[in-house]
Structure 1
């Protein structure tokens, strides 16, 4: 049994998600044949990200949640906005003493100065859908109710590690320590 360590310290977008998933999938594929003593059974993923693209965040969550390995996620600085989504994929979730969390509603930047009424309605529907999905995920993976998660997102809530522990977003406040001679992947 072995643990691989991943450090995700960039905005969440299709490139960083692809890099992270490629690293994880390559390590799973590198597992020796059955009957040997060695296997990657745990991935520790240290996250320090201000967020990013919500579609990419849900893609990373779904990929991580479907891995044939135990996933331990750790907040090593900030898990803000969309970064909370893959963070919640952890079967064990921890945070450093000096870290924080930010929950807020989805944000959209219009790519063109002029939008039709139909385009604005489409974006509004998209935002509502992903706000609902985010609140649903938070309520499924913490002690917060769906309504509390929605309220906290609407209010733009910053959480300390102690508050995240009280709300069940994390399991413990602890340092992230990777042994010296282990596999590490930087994103």
Structure 2
């Protein structure tokens, strides 16, 4: 933390990029622990991720949305797949004019020659993941019936303006830390 942050003890600025996986979960846990120890009350986080594992994204969503810190999330480029769920953990959310979001249903690849019972297990897992993520999407955003229909069978791409109309973001705005503030990568 910089001297300015230590004095106020209220705000800090971070970046978080890469695949949503167990490594990212660990980094987020460690960083939030350090934030709470440093007295951070509001954390601004720029996210750049094309997604990853559903369970890891859900874990971070649940953890961050209930942590004793206000998280302000930013999309400066791309937030896609399960990273959208992570992004939605923010109490306030923003995206740059040129940022994009992408949401889709879960998918998996079966092993060649997989038996029907193995395929059934994969399908049931995908349905469970879809139910979990869709409940969070519906809690936070308001898509049009046409957008929900696209989401049902394909990738749904949203510009920052689309995301604002869907209440995914509060406004179109850039991640803009104050001059001299230390920016940490999670």
TM class, shorter-length: 0.7 to 0.9
The separation in 1 between residues aligned to 2:35 and 2:182, in whole angstroms, is 9
Distance 1:153 1:2 in 2: 41
Report if the CA contact (8 A) 1:135-1:150 is conserved: no
Match of 1:21 among 4, 22, 29: 29
Alpha-carbon spacing, 1:153–1:185, altered in 2? closer, same or farther (3 Å):
farther
Counterparts of 1:97 and 1:124, CA distance in 2: 37
- How far apart are the structure 2 equivalents of 1:63 and 1:182? 26
2:122 counterpart residue number: 123
Q: Structure 1 residue runs of 4+, over 6 Å off?
A: none
Cα shift at 1:46: 0.8
Gaps of 5+ in 1: 32-38
Residue 167 (str. 1) matches residue 175 (str. 2): no
What's the TM-score once normalised by structure 1's chain length?
0.87
> 1:5 maps to which residue?
13
How many residues in Structure 1 have an aligned counterpart in Structure 2? 178
Q: Which runs of 5+ in 2 are unaligned?
A: 1-8
**What is the match of residue 94 of structure 1?**
94
2:106 corresponds in structure 1 to 106
CA RMSD in angstroms comes to 2.0
